[in-house]
Chain A
Amino acid sequence: MTRALALHIAVLAALFAAQYLLPPYHHTNIARIMVLAVFAMGYNIAFGYTGLLSLGHALFFAAGLYTTGLGIELWGLSAAPALALGLIAGGAIAAATGVLALRTGGVSFMIVTLMFAQAGYLTILYFGQYTRGDEGFVITRAARSIGPIDLSADTPRYLTALALFSVALLINLALTKSRLGRAMIGMRENEERSRMLGYNPFRIKLIALVISGLYAGAAGAAYSVLFGYVGASFAAIQYSILPLLYVLLGGAGTTLGPFLGALLMFYLIDISSGYTTAHLFVVGAALLVLVLFAPKGILGWVRDKGAKWLP
């Protein structure tokens, strides 16, 4: 077993053990953070590994969230097929966006993905008759179960979030070791050189974006069932920026960075709000310090300081 795999398994084991040790408040928080970390992991695959700076990932998250939510509430699906549809929706919307947006690059890609996400947000509001627009809707508690397992109960919710996070993390780890993962990094480092070596940049970037969309869709789908709410605010610009901040904080291009970033960002807001009403100032100051002193994020800094094996 490599050091990297051992570290990842240790993190998962710690998260499994945490459910028995954490007080109820943090128990639910960690479940929520694991789901959001899957979203951020997806973002990291596009941004951290492939160099695609997107401002449209809220669209992919919302695709999973709404497909699952509407699947249950409008079409009467049970949670399991609705979750599967949410996953697929995230990937499909990412593919459709990528086919058009990947004709651009750099800042243009960022603007085009932002426009796609904004169009998605307005579409949700436009079909308010079904989506209840900005208010959103609640998924009835009875529908939030798979067979006899009630996903609105604390322990099943935690374990489901952990299962999703574990699968996502291990696939991410495998991806970084694979030929595809190395090709993705090649796109980030030098696209023209990769093209010269025979890679098709458009194809590789599209695959990376679809994988990223699948992650975001899975997170959105899981969020709707585990937490019981579907709303347009999750499709707004701030939910495209949040995974970027998680990744920048934890370390872009590191497998554990998105989780670490989501965890720290959550508790930075949560703890600072207990001391000051200006907690958003604290968050801003922390991000400034990070950009100035550890621009590669926390795990990027750790990797630079000697842990070269950190994936």
Chain B
Amino acid sequence: MTKLIGMTPSRRSLLKGMAAGATALALPGFVQAQSSAPIKLGFQLHRTGIGAAYGRWYERTTQAALKVLSDQGGINGRPVEVVFEDDGTDPKRGAEVVEKLASQAGCDAIFGPLFSHVVIGSAPRAGELKVPYLVCSEGYHVASGKLNRWTLQPGITDVRAQVSSMAPWVTQNLGKKVTMVFPDYAFGHDHRDYFTAAIEAQGGEVIKHIAIPPTETSFTRYMPQIPKETEVLYHVMVGPAVLTFVKELGEFYGTGDRPEIFGFIDSLEAVDIASPGLEFLEGTHFWEGHCRAKQTDASEHETFYRAAVGVDDNGASISDSKDVATYAHMFSTWETLFVLKAGMEAAGYQGIADRQKLVEAIEAMTAMPESQAHPQGAKIFNGKTHQVFGHQNISKVEGGKLMRVHQTTVEESMYESDVDYTTMSF
């Protein structure tokens, strides 16, 4: 066998090399180079699939938040990158995207998904990979305790909080006999269960539940099921058939008498209220997480946020008035990014070895005052349930615009829970 002379390192040169390596590690300059590397955050984006309308605006909102955050000096003085990856609004692909962002892109944390099935399908993998997973889903699945220590929802309130806090206003101002129309799956069932309980607690009554199968494309046959004695019609629908549902509701009632109508803006996110066929919505009420139309008492933070994202006073893109924003929900991605910043800075975050410290730092958060980081309003985070609580807005359609008529307090949306993620192991 031929020996390659000079190719085998001597023991002395090996020791020299090791010493040089150890010295380099100890040099402050090297440490500086390490700590000034960008922080990478993964964004699980609904770019395609049923959530695409939301995804388009979630990406824009996050880009705007990233620019603001970068102008402020990044996180811990380090630049920040956001890696967007499409999950197709599909839970299987969602889990793969979590894997890709964490293992391949080397992201420090992941955030952004809205649709419940994607969150629930992806959370197990985030837990296995031990990567902080901050969702913007408004589902009750986080606070219910069925996910894991690594999954948190600090940027938007959940359905249970939303419907429970608004029920008193509904019974006091619109009526006590309620008929609910909702999609016949888990999201709709959360509305059914928690709103019904909240209405009954106020001395009201849900006289009819009308569950719409998710495969329906026309809803006319459900309209006659609405009892005549209904005082308030509560509706919440999601997906592509939303517009059809609302139009058919208008055709059913025409110009005749109708009950008070209270809906979730989810039914009309990214849809212009002034669309033909929606005229009958004049005078009806909607829940909004964040008011689409700029209100007369808008705070400086809300004004700043609206301008930064590029949304006009009516809630549409400043470059295309027909491109209506998903304004009621998309603030969650902005606020979540700033929660990550606050958490990383509190934890002294250096790298992925500090991921656990980041989760613990977010769990330790409580009050989140209204600010540029929280333009939707003040919030209180519950570290045990990993869920944030905040204001809810009830708006009325007046002159084709959604104008806020009531805002709940943060405390009204809070509820008791036995869930305590902090007792779970990492």
Interface residue ranges, A against B (CB under 8 Å): 23-25, 28-29, 32, 118, 122, 125-126, 128, 132-139, 141, 152-153, 227-229, 231-234, 269-270, 273, 277, 279-280
Distance (Å) between the CB of B186 and the closest chain A CB?
4
Whether A229 contacts B90 in the complex (CB less than 8 A), given A25-B100, A25-B103, A122-B213, comes out as: no
Q: Bound complex: CA of A32 vs CA of B95, how far in Å? A: 11
Partner of B124, one of A24, A229, A273: A229
Partner of B47, one of A128, A152, A277: A277
Partner of A125, one of B104, B123, B213: B213
Asked if residues A136 and B104 are in contact (CB atoms below 8 Å), the reply is: no
Asked if residues A280 and B48 are in contact (CB atoms below 8 Å), the reply is: yes
- Pick the most buried of A118, A227, A280: most chain B CB atoms within 10 A of its CB: A227
- Residues of A within 8 Å of B85, CB to CB, are 273
The answer to whether the Cβ of B127 comes within 8 Å of any Cβ in the partner chain is: yes
Asked if residues A125 and B117 are in contact (CB atoms below 8 Å), the reply is: no
Asked if residues A137 and B146 are in contact (CB atoms below 8 Å), the reply is: yes
Within 8 A of A (CB), among B181-228: 184-187, 189, 213-215
Interface residue ranges, B against A (CB under 8 Å): 47-48, 85-86, 90-93, 95-96, 99-100, 103-104, 116-117, 120-121, 123-125, 127-128, 139, 141, 146-148, 184-187, 189, 213-215
Q: A122-B215, A228-B128, A234-B92 are in contact. List 11 more A-B contacts (CB 8 A).
A: A25-B100, A28-B99, A28-B103, A133-B184, A134-B117, A136-B91, A153-B128, A229-B121, A229-B124, A233-B121, A270-B96
- Residues of B within 8 Å of A232, CB to CB, are 117, 185
Whether A135 contacts B103 in the complex (CB less than 8 A), given A122-B213, A233-B91, A277-B86, comes out as: no
What total count of A-B pairs have CB within 8 Å? 95
Asked if residues A128 and B95 are in contact (CB atoms below 8 Å), the reply is: no
Asked if residues A135 and B99 are in contact (CB atoms below 8 Å), the reply is: no
Asked if residues B86 and A135 are in contact (CB atoms below 8 Å), the reply is: no
Asked if residues B189 and A128 are in contact (CB atoms below 8 Å), the reply is: yes
Q: List 20 A-B contacts (CB under 8 A).
A: A23-B104, A25-B100, A29-B99, A125-B184, A125-B213, A132-B120, A133-B186, A134-B185, A137-B120, A228-B125, A229-B91, A229-B95, A229-B121, A229-B124, A233-B121, A234-B92, A270-B96, A270-B100, A273-B85, A280-B48
> Top 4 closest A-B pairs, CB basis?
A228-B124, A133-B185, A135-B186, A25-B103
Q: Bound complex: CA of A293 vs CA of B372, how far in Å? A: 57
- Residues of A within 8 Å of B91, CB to CB, are 136, 229, 231, 233
Distance (Å) between the CB of B382 and the closest chain A CB?
21
Partner of B121, one of A23, A136, A141: A136
- Residues of B within 8 Å of A24, CB to CB, are 103
Partner of A29, one of B96, B124, B213: B96
Q: Bound complex: CA of A132 vs CA of B147, how far in Å? A: 14
- Residues of A within 8 Å of B146, CB to CB, are 137-138
A234 to chain B: closest residue by CB: B92
Asked if residues A233 and B117 are in contact (CB atoms below 8 Å), the reply is: yes
Asked if residues A152 and B186 are in contact (CB atoms below 8 Å), the reply is: no
Partner of A138, one of B120, B139, B189, B214: B120
- Pick the most buried of A23, A24, A133, A232: most chain B CB atoms within 10 A of its CB: A133
Asked if residues A125 and B214 are in contact (CB atoms below 8 Å), the reply is: yes
Distance (Å) between the CB of B144 and the closest chain A CB?
10
A131 to chain B: closest residue by CB: B186
Asked if residues B120 and A229 are in contact (CB atoms below 8 Å), the reply is: yes
Q: Bound complex: CA of A29 vs CA of B100, how far in Å? A: 9
Distance (Å) between the CB of B398 and the closest chain A CB?
35
Q: Bound complex: CA of A30 vs CA of B406, how far in Å? A: 53
Distance (Å) between the CB of B48 and the closest chain A CB?
6
- Residues of A within 8 Å of B92, CB to CB, are 233-234
Q: Bound complex: CA of A28 vs CA of B103, how far in Å? A: 10
Distance (Å) between the CB of A152 and the closest chain B CB?
6
- Residues of A within 8 Å of B120, CB to CB, are 132, 135-138, 229, 231
Q: Bound complex: CA of A134 vs CA of B48, how far in Å? A: 18
Whether A23 contacts B103 in the complex (CB less than 8 A), given A128-B186, A128-B189, A229-B95, comes out as: yes
A135 to chain B: closest residue by CB: B186
Distance (Å) between the CB of B241 and the closest chain A CB?
14
Q: Bound complex: CA of A138 vs CA of B146, how far in Å? A: 7
Asked if residues A135 and B117 are in contact (CB atoms below 8 Å), the reply is: yes
A236 to chain B: closest residue by CB: B90
Whether A233 contacts B123 in the complex (CB less than 8 A), given A29-B99, A133-B185, A135-B141, comes out as: no
Asked if residues A141 and B86 are in contact (CB atoms below 8 Å), the reply is: no
- Residues of A within 8 Å of B189, CB to CB, are 128, 133
- Residues of B within 8 Å of A234, CB to CB, are 92
Q: Bound complex: CA of A133 vs CA of B186, how far in Å? A: 5
Asked if residues A138 and B147 are in contact (CB atoms below 8 Å), the reply is: yes
Q: Bound complex: CA of A231 vs CA of B139, how far in Å? A: 15
- Residues of B within 8 Å of A139, CB to CB, are 124
Q: Bound complex: CA of A67 vs CA of B261, how far in Å? A: 41
Distance (Å) between the CB of B62 and the closest chain A CB?
15
Q: Bound complex: CA of A178 vs CA of B308, how far in Å? A: 68
Asked if residues B100 and A134 are in contact (CB atoms below 8 Å), the reply is: no
Q: Bound complex: CA of A195 vs CA of B121, how far in Å? A: 47
- Residues of B within 8 Å of A277, CB to CB, are 47, 86
Q: Bound complex: CA of A136 vs CA of B117, how far in Å? A: 6
